């Protein structure tokens, strides 16, 4: 047990979210979880959604590992995207929240001290754990499902593949273990064999552990059973002979879920039982134990805190800062959806009649599976399921095994009615609920307010998307008609006609292909080819329509180095460094260096050659860069340059220009006349002269460190450039560009290729941004200014959630990374089946997509909170936990609502300002029964978790319409009182002892300087040439082994609590898989620790010799120890290179790949 | 220089016999390690698998061994001239403390035992 002070010396939870109550809550949570795990062996962290459970868990892990460096961890995430997120968060946590490199949790280079391993399946886990168990493993819960057809021998391919794979890693397993005659026995044996291959884990973390709430028993998902057996849960006698070493693999288990139970504490017991940890908590499952005693039993290991938001001087809990639309409407709060059109009313009545008749049939007994009536979501035709289709037409297909119910019992009737309506009226049958939602969301591109929509029916993703896209098209085309100059209107109408024609043809083709069952064609992954889903995709993305100055044309020109706009989004660094205007740069540069303008011009002209290749006519952007680079270099190197200017110039040089130098033999023989680029005016140089606008969209960097400040400014400018070029802002810029051009003809644009037209567009654009800035959003549409200012203001947050590595990347990579992040934008995004990370990351930014329609694929794990304050439960889920998880996607620390509401200081928020939770439904349909049931269960869940009251509930997944109608309609109000957790952190959870940290915060810097002192030309008698440019904790060099040479790299690492140096010396490309025999024979005589790198990448070497040595406690033996290591490793590597490859490669051959050896914790 | 390595092996889980140290683990498995004095270093060697196991494992064993060498610290594996799978570690004598030597001994024993279990399911060496 440790105390909070001890933990606070190691962990800083306020680093990203700021110091204060939230950071304190996370620290206390980490200590409490650590202490519970230490004493109980299990802990359940059930904090409300969005409070940072992952970080609390990582804090507990760090505390354990700091004091026990060999602490072994396995993380089980529900699915792939969350598995990756855990790995990302662990890296972030170690880098930012662990205070200093202790070499146990955090290494010298601020990455995790242990490597991270993502396992795609159970065989991967076995292979990786067998290879080296002392790494952190991340697996998916879905990997334990072991889906395998089993009808006949031919179908048992998957089982055979698993059997053969496992045999490779456990060749000694008896044959009878892998008997393929019985499916369930095979699965059990496979799981037990996996267990035999796994090490004991000091801690297993189970994320979203409510997925295991049905436990290990009979009749539950076989996934739970496979997991339990793989973790060594006791399963009766008889395991010793077939499975030697079988037994519990998890010394401690940490469960994480905001929704640990639905309506019974038994769900807790079930989860513990999967890991064989339920024994001491049998009260939870007993029927004759009071609810109070069950609560006391749960409180032994469960912690739950409630989200609180400080608004107007008061702390509000989630039920107080969320506004729920329980009556079903989406336009006016507490109003149902009004169906006024008689035709629509008739259709609703007809459908309800059909549904009523269906439910009245004997086979359904007036009941239906919650959320599995297709008519609730859409009247469009739904594809017929194949008999072996496991997925179904709805998410959560596991809810039923009945193929008819999976398909939706009303599908056949709805399809028949829809066809009949289409034939009679030549249009799709209207669906009042869907149409109301589409009406409500069709405003998002005007207001900029994002919306997250959860559906249950997979086909609804496309249906809603299509309708919203149609509305978006209407808006965009009208907007362009309104804002483009009159002279181009006729041409524009022809373009719209063309779009509609092409779109119709493409959609018909796709429909035909789908009907014929042909596979879907996929475009190239790396290139945006545009599309037909919206006019934006067709006109503003990809190639765009031919022969027209389209949005896509402008987008391409802004991104290219050549042409008028080749420097539009560049920055004139020289003008910034000299503090002067473009137009007076040459003069100021000469004055600064105490020389003449002619001399400056000549020097820049000469210098620019070093940054240009032999290309005949370097593009405009290249020429600009070359001149800037030459002038910045001049400032760095000129003896008369004042120190302050030189200091900043050096930073600009190192961060941006140094890497753009061209090798001498590839340089242009002579630089073209390009000096005018010193005076180039760009978007950013012009923005500097509009201080108010600048502070709104390109605020001055906050970092006091000049180098950091430069990076911050550059990252912000690249983000703005990418956003303008690739998203909603491009529309504004396009309208301005065509306004200047007054033509959509491509030739006209090319004729006007001069700097002046670019310069005028810059002014027009800045003027527009200023106008938008000064006009309240209520009086205009959401536009470029709003997108850019939100990106600029929240860039840190955007990087944290989307691209944290960008901060460490070289600045030259930034334009590409931002372009990748913002590519292929669409106003309405849809997701089912698997997570589209591009869409998810864009939803976490301002702008497109404004609406994200998704099935439960995004229900857990993905944070979508940063710019969205509205969630629509269009397809109602049947469990309160799913509903809460879905709402939780946008209700998290640092959310859009959090930022807006926390800024209110002197009043309570209005209903409109709260986080909006919609439950769209029609009151005149049987769906209302389902909504009422779910809302009641949500209230019960809240009472159970927050007040300790258990209301014995009916957990039925089905609704009996007769019973429900008999109960009559009742409103289920939102709970209003302040929520109080039933499971707070107790004093005893934090009552550990003050413990001195196991590593001194100064340890890393001491070791680092000891390590850097090794770079001596004569190291313990070795002649070494050390290379330049190494990073922290890495030294690279070449040992002279006359007459030969051998390169190597040294890496400062740790093992256990010991500092260690690793030496890697490359042999070359040997293709060891094909030459294993020859290398094995050599290795018999050369006592080398040979390493191979298996990769599809092209590399300079795939065979190494390596070795490690511990560093002593004093440092006195460092030189001798490391010299002995280098000597042994390089001699062995050189001998292998000589004898097997007959070569003697220089360091430069391997330098880039040797640099990759330093990257660990990946 | 630390020359008397036997005196440094005073620990409950280590027992010395001649040039061999047997390391016993908490689960009662154990592994034997041979210590050789080679100038400025001690060379630690342990047998992981006998030739019969090596032959039965086929060519993929070498590749597996080299992959493992990339992951494991302080210990290297190879097939020796007698076709045995062996593990080796080198311990510098300069400034060597008893705690460090024991760390190396436990490291090679643990890694060798783990590999032996993966290949044979037994505890022979």
DSSP output for A517-528 = TPPPP---SSS-
Is the Cβ–Cβ distance between A453 and A464 less than 8 Å?
yes
Q: Does residue B41 sit at the A interface (CB-CB below 8 Å)?
A: yes
Mutate to test the interface with A, among B54, B75, B90, B100 (most CBs of A within 10 A): B90
Place of tokens 């909603």: A728
Q: Please choose, from the candidates A1044, A69, A128, A850, the residue with its C-alpha nearest in 3D space to the C-alpha of residue A438.
A: A850
User: Taking phi first (over 0 means left), then psi (-120 to 50 degrees means alpha), and beta for anything else, what does residue B120 get?
Assistant: alpha
How close, in Å, is residue A82 to chain B by CA atoms? 25
Q: Please choose, from the candidates A201, A193, A159, the residue with its C-alpha nearest in 3D space to the C-alpha of residue A75.
A: A201
- pTM, 2 dp: 0.80
State ipTM: 0.96
Cis peptide bond prior to A779, omega within 30° of 0: no
How close, in Å, is residue B94 to chain A by CA atoms? 6
Is the Cβ–Cβ distance between B105 and B19 less than 8 Å?
no
Q: What is the pLDDT of residue A804?
A: 79
Residue A311: its H or E element: strand A308-311
Inspect the interface and report whether the beta carbons of B63 and A1073 lie closer than 8 Å: yes
Mutate to test the interface with A, among B73, B86, B103, B111 (most CBs of A within 10 A): B73
Q: What is the pLDDT of residue A153?
A: 67
Chain A stretch 87-126, residues whose beta carbon is closer than 8 A to a beta carbon of chain B: 115
Q: Measured between alpha carbons, how far apart are the two ends of chain B, in Å? A: 30
Mutate to test the interface with B, among A177, A1090, A1110 (most CBs of B within 10 A): A1110
Residue A72 CA to residue A63 CA, distance in Å, equals 13
How close, in Å, is residue B15 to chain A by CA atoms? 23
What is the Rg, in whole angstroms, of the alpha carbon atoms belonging to chain B? Answer: 14
Q: What is the pLDDT of residue B43?
A: 96
3-state secondary structure of A571: coil
Cis peptide bond prior to B38, omega within 30° of 0: no
Q: Please choose, from the candidates A71, A11, A70, A59, the residue with its C-alpha nearest in 3D space to the C-alpha of residue A35.
A: A59
3-state secondary structure of A271: helix
For residue A223, give both structure tokens: 């996934």
Q: Which long-range contacts (CB under 8 A, 24 or more apart) does A1137-1140 make?
A: A1137/A1046, A1137/A1067, A1137/A1068, A1138/A1044, A1139/A1082, A1140/A1067, A1140/A1070, A1140/A1075, A1140/A1078, A1140/A1079, A1140/A1082
Residue A173 CA to residue A249 CA, distance in Å, equals 19
Closest residue in A to B1 (Cα) is A1117
Residue B44 CA to residue B35 CA, distance in Å, equals 5
Give the CA angle between residues A1136, A1138, A1142 to the nearest 5°. Answer: 125
Torsion of CA A880, A884, A885, A889, to 10 degrees: 160
Residues of A in contact with B46 (CB under 8 A): none
How close, in Å, is residue A1161 to chain B by CA atoms? 12
Q: What is the pLDDT of residue A173?
A: 84
Q: Measured between alpha carbons, how far apart are the two ends of chain A, in Å? A: 31
Residue A31 CA to residue A745 CA, distance in Å, equals 67
Q: Does residue B1 sit at the A interface (CB-CB below 8 Å)?
A: no
Q: Does residue A1135 sit at the B interface (CB-CB below 8 Å)?
A: no
**Taking each helix axis from N to C terminus, what angle separates A80-97 and A53-67, rounded to the nearest 10 degrees?**
60
Backbone angles phi, psi at A136, to 5 degrees: -95, 125
Residues facing B32 on adjacent strands: B22
For residue A553, give both structure tokens: 């044309």
Residue A911 CB-half CA count within 13 A: 8
Q: Give the strand order in the sheet containing B20-24.
A: B14-17, B20-24, B30-38, B41-49, B85-92, B76-79
Residues of A in contact with B67 (CB under 8 A): 131, 1091-1092, 1094
Is the Cβ–Cβ distance between A633 and A662 less than 8 Å?
no
Torsion of CA A1111, A1113, A1115, A1120, to 10 degrees: -40
Q: What is the pLDDT of residue A64?
A: 97
Whole-Å CA distances, A361 to A365, A382, A928: 6, 22, 21
Residue A1027 CA to residue A1030 CA, distance in Å, equals 7
Kindly give the confidence (pLDDT) of every residue in chain B, 125 residues in length, as a single tens digit, with 9 standing for 90 and above: 445 899 999 999 999 999 999 999 988 889 999 999 998 899 999 999 999 999 988 888 999 999 999 989 999 999 999 999 999 999 999 889 999 999 999 999 999 999 999 898 877 76
Inspect the interface and report whether the beta carbons of A1120 and B60 lie closer than 8 Å: no
Residue A685 CA to residue A575 CA, distance in Å, equals 8
Please count the other Cβ atoms lying within 10 Å of the Cβ belonging to residue A76: 27
Is the Cβ–Cβ distance between A938 and A884 less than 8 Å?
yes
For residue A1071, give both structure tokens: 């293709």
3-state secondary structure of A1105: strand
Inspect the interface and report whether the beta carbons of A1058 and B100 lie closer than 8 Å: yes
Residue A177 CA to residue A185 CA, distance in Å, equals 9
Place of tokens 């524009």: A492
Q: Does residue A248 sit at the B interface (CB-CB below 8 Å)?
A: no
The single-letter DSSP state of residue A428 is: P
Residue A574 CA to residue A629 CA, distance in Å, equals 9
Residues of A in contact with B121 (CB under 8 A): 170, 172-173, 196, 244-245
Closest residue in A to B83 (Cα) is A1084
For residue B85, give both structure tokens: 């799978």
* Strand pairing class (A450-454; A868-873): parallel
Residue A409 CA to residue A362 CA, distance in Å, equals 13
What is the Rg, in whole angstroms, of the alpha carbon atoms belonging to chain A? Answer: 33
Is the Cβ–Cβ distance between A444 and A850 less than 8 Å?
yes
Q: What is the pLDDT of residue A800?
A: 87
Whole-Å CA distances, A656 to A479, A573, A710: 40, 10, 10
Residue A355 CA to residue A925 CA, distance in Å, equals 9
Whole-Å CA distances, A594 to A99, A405, A600, A678, A789: 47, 85, 10, 18, 40
Chain A stretch 121-180, residues whose beta carbon is closer than 8 A to a beta carbon of chain B: 130-133, 135, 168-173
Residue A60 CB-half CA count within 13 A: 34
Residue A144 CA to residue A124 CA, distance in Å, equals 12
Query: Considering CB atoms only, which of A1076, A1106, A1117 is closest to B94?
Result: A1117
The single-letter DSSP state of residue A94 is: H
Residues facing A1103 on adjacent strands: A1068, A1092
Low-confidence ranges of chain A (pLDDT < 50): 383-391, 750-752, 948-954, 1161
Query: Considering CB atoms only, which of B40, B60, B103 is closest to A1110?
Result: B103
The single-letter DSSP state of residue A1138 is: I
Residue A479 CA to residue A494 CA, distance in Å, equals 16
Is the Cβ–Cβ distance between A203 and A249 less than 8 Å?
no
Residue A247 CB-half CA count within 13 A: 8
Q: What is the pLDDT of residue A415?
A: 80
Q: What is the pLDDT of residue A950?
A: 46
Inspect the interface and report whether the beta carbons of B76 and A1053 lie closer than 8 Å: no
Is the Cβ–Cβ distance between A1094 and A1158 less than 8 Å?
no
Is the Cβ–Cβ distance between A776 and A60 less than 8 Å?
no
3-state secondary structure of A344: helix
3-state secondary structure of A354: helix
Tens-digit pLDDT profile for residues A457-485: 888 898 899 999 999 999 999 999 999 99
Query: Considering CB atoms only, which of A1056, A1058, A1089 is closest to B69?
Result: A1089
3-state secondary structure chain B: CCCCCHHHHCCCCEEEECCEEEEECCCCCEEEEEEEEECCEEEEEEEEECHHHHHHHCCHHHHHHHHHHHHCCCCEEEECCCCCEEEEEEEECCCCCHHHHHHHHHHHHHHHHHHHHHHHCCCCC
Residues 6+ apart with CB under 8 A from A771: none
The single-letter DSSP state of residue A209 is: G
């Amino acid at each position: 047990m440790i105390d909070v002070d001890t933990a606070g010396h190691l962990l800083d939870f306020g680093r990203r979210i700021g110091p204060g109550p939230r950071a304190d809550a996370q620290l206390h949570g980490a200590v409490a979880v650590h202490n519970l795990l230490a004493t109980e062996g299990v802990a359940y962290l059930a904090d409300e959604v969005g409070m940072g459970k992952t970080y609390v868990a990582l804090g507990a892990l760090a505390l354990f590992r700091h004091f026990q460096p060999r602490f072994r961890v396995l993380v089980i995430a529900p699915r792939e995207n969350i598995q990756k997120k855990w790995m990302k968060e662990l890296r972030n946590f170690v880098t930012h929240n662990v205070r200093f490199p202790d070499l146990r949790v955090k290494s010298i280079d601020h990455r995790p001290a242990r490597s991270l391993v993502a396992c795609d399946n159970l065989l991967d886990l076995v292979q990786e754990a067998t290879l080296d168990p002392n790494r952190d493993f991340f697996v998916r819960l879905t990997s334990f499902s072991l889906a395998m057809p089993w009808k006949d021998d031919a179908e048992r391919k998957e089982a055979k593949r698993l059997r053969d794979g496992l045999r490779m890693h456990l060749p000694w397993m008896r044959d009878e273990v892998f008997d393929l005659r019985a499916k369930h026995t095979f699965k059990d044996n496979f799981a037990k064999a996996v267990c035999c291959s796994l090490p004991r884990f000091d801690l297993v973390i189970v994320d979203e552990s409510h997925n295991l709430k049905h436990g290990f028993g009979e009749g539950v998902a076989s996934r739970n059973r496979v997991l339990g057996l793989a973790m060594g849960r006791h399963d009766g006698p008889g395991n010793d002979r077939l499975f030697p070493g079988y037994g519990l693999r998890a010394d401690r288990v940490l469960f994480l879920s905001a929704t640990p139970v639905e309506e019974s504490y038994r769900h807790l017991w079930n989860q513990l039982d999967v890991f064989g940890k339920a024994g001491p908590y049998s009260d939870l499952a007993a029927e004759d134990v009071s609810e109070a005693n069950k609560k006391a039993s749960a409180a032994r290991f469960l912690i739950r805190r409630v989200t609180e938001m400080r608004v107007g001087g008061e702390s509000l809990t989630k039920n107080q800062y969320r506004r729920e639309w329980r009556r079903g409407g989406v336009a006016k709060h507490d109003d149902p959806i009004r169906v006024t059109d008689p035709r629509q009313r008739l259709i609703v009545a007809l459908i309800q009649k059909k549904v009523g008749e269906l439910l009245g049939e004997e086979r359904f007994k007036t009941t239906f599976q919650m959320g599995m009536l297709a008519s609730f979501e859409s009247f469009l035709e739904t594809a017929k399921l194949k008999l072996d289709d496991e997925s179904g037409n709805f998410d959560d297909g596991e809810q039923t095994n009945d193929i008819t119910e999976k398909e939706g019992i009303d599908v056949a009737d709805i399809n028949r009615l829809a066809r009949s309506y289409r034939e009679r009226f030549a249009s799709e049958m209207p669906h009042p609920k869907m149409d109301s939602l589409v009406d409500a969301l069709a405003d998002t591109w005007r207001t900029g307010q994002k919306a997250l929509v959860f559906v249950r029916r997979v086909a609804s993703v496309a249906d809603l998307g299509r309708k919203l896209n149609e509305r978006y098209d209407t808006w965009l085309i009208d907007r362009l008609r309104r804002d483009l100059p009159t002279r181009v209107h006729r041409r524009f109408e022809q373009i719209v006609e063309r779009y509609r024609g092409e779109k119709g043809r493409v959609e018909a083709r796709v429909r035909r292909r789908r009907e014929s069952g042909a596979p879907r064609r996929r475009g190239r992954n790396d290139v945006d080819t545009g599309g037909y889903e919206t006019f934006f995709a067709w006109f503003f993305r990809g190639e765009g329509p031919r022969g027209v100055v389209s949005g896509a044309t402008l987008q391409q020109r802004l991104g290219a180095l050549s042409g008028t706009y080749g420097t539009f989004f560049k920055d004139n660094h020289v003008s910034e460094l000299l503090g002067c205007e473009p137009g007076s740069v040459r003069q100021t540069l000469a004055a600064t260096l105490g020389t003449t303008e002619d001399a400056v011009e000549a020097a820049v002209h000469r210098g620019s050659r070093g940054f240009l290749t032999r290309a005949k006519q370097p593009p405009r952007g290249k020429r600009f860069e070359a001149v800037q680079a030459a002038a910045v270099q001049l400032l760095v190197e000129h003896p008369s340059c004042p120190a302050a200017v030189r200091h900043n110039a050096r930073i600009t040089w190192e961060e941006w220009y140094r890497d753009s130098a061209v090798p001498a033999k590839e340089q242009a023989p002579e630089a073209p006349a390009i000096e005018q680029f010193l005076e180039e005016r760009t978007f950013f140089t012009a923005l500097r002269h509009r201080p108010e606008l600048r502070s709104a969209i390109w605020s001055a960097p906050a970092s006091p460190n000049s180098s950091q400040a430069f990076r911050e400014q550059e990252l912000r400018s690249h983000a703005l450039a990418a956003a303008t070029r690739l998203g909603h802002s491009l529309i504004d810029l396009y309208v301005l560009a065509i306004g200047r051009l007054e033509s959509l003809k491509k030739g006209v644009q090319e004729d006007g290729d001069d700097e002046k037209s670019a310069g005028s567009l810059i002014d027009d654009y800045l003027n527009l941004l200023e106008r938008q800035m000064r006009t309240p959003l209520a009086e205009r549409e959401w536009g470029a200014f709003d997108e850019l200012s939100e990106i600029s203001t929240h860039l840190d947050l955007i990087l944290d959630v989307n691209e944290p590595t960008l901060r460490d990347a070289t600045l030259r990579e930034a334009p590409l990374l931002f372009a990748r992040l913002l590519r292929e934008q669409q106003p309405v995004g849809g997701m089912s089946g698997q997570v589209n990370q591009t869409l998810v990351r864009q939803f976490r930014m301002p702008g497109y997509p404004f609406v994200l329609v998704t099935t439960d694929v995004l229900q857990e794990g993905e944070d979508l909170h940063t710019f969205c304050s509205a969630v629509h439960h269009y397809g109602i889920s049947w469990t309160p936990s799913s509903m809460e998880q879905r709402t939780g996607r946008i209700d998290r620390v640092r959310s859009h609502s959090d930022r807006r509401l926390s800024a209110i200081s002197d009043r309570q928020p209005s209903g409109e300002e709260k986080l909006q939770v919609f439950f769209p439904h029609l009151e005149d349909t049987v769906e209302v029964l389902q909504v009422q049931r779910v809302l009641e269960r949500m209230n019960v869940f809240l009472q159970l978790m927050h007040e300790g009251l258990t209301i014995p509930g009916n957990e039925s997944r089905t609704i009996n319409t007769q019973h429900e109608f008999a109960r009559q309609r009742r409103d289920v109000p939102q709970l209003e009182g302040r929520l109080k957790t039933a499971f707070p952190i107790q004093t005893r959870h934090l009552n550990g002892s003050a413990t001195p940290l196991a590593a001194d915060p100064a340890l890393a810097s001491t070791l680092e300087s000891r390590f850097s002192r090794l770079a001596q030309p004569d190291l313990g008698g070795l002649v070494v040439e050390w290379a330049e440019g190494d990073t922290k904790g890495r030294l690279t060099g070449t040992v002279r082994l006359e007459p030969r040479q051998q390169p190597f790299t040294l890496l400062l690492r740790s093992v256990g609590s010991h500092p260690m140096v690793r030496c890697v010396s490359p042999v070359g490309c040997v293709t060891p898989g094909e030459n294993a025999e020859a290398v094995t024979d050599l290795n018999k005589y050369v006592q080398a620790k040979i390493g191979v790198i298996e990769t599809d990448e092209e590399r300079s070497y795939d065979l190494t010799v390596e070795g490690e040595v511990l560093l002593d406690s004093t440092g006195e033996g460092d030189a001798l120890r490391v010299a002995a290591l280098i000597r042994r490793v390089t001699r062995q590597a050189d001998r292998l290179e000589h004898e097997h490859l007959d070569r003697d490669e220089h360091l430069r051959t391997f330098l880039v790949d040797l640099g990759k050896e330093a990257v660990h914790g990946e | 220089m630390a020359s008397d390595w036997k005196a440094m092996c005073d620990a409950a889980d280590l027992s010395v016999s001649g040039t061999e140290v047997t390391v016993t683990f908490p689960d009662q498995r154990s592994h034997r390690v041979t210590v050789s004095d080679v100038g400025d270093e001690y060379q630690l060697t342990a047998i992981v698998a006998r030739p019969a196991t090596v032959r039965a494992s086929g060519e993929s064993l070498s590749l597996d061994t080299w992959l493992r060498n990339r992951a494991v610290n302080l210990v290297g594996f190879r097939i020796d001239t007698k076709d045995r799978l062996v593990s080796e570690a080198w311990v510098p004598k300069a400034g060597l403390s008893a705690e460090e030597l024991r760390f190396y001994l436990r490291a090679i024993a643990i890694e060798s035992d783990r590999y032996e279990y993966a290949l044979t399911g037994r505890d022979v060496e």
